[in-house]
Amino acid sequence: MTTATPTVDRVTAAVRRTSLTVLIAAWLVPVFVLGQFALMAGLPIAVVLIGTLRDARLRALGWWTAAVTAAYAVPLAVWLIGPNSAPSLSKFLSPVATGAVVAVGIAVAIAHHVGRRRSGVRG
């Protein structure tokens, strides 16, 4: 009697990990901005951007990723370049800019979550 042991495809496991990492990073963007850690939100945005570019399955979400990157990069650039006295990016962001980054961040996280669910990747 032969028992078949399931083989784990390393590529599938790597894609699953990357997808989960991108999903968590996508949800961290609005959490960081709302928690007044707006400058640190650049790290999860970079993870989402790199993960979307590297994973062929996530390339369909490129427009969403570009939207959150732009929504974050514009206020960041204005804060860094402009003559302001705000000590941090969180203090510099207006309520409208904060709402825009959070709304786009939530939309990106939901888009990545739905894409993960449609691909059949679990866990």
Query: Per-residue pLDDT tens for 18-60?
Result: 578 888 999 999 999 999 999 999 999 999 999 888 887 777 7
Measured from the Cβ of residue 53, the count of other Cβ atoms closer than 10 Å reads: 12
Query: The pTM is what?
Result: 0.77
* Average pLDDT, integer, range 7-23: 58
Q: By the 8 A CB rule, do 44 and 28 touch?
A: yes
Helix intervals (H) in 1-94: 10-34, 42-54, 62-81, 89-92
Query: Per-residue pLDDT tens for 56-84?
Result: 777 778 888 999 999 999 999 999 998 87
Distances, alpha carbon 118 to alpha carbons 15, 28, 69, 102, 105, in Å: 14, 21, 24, 24, 20
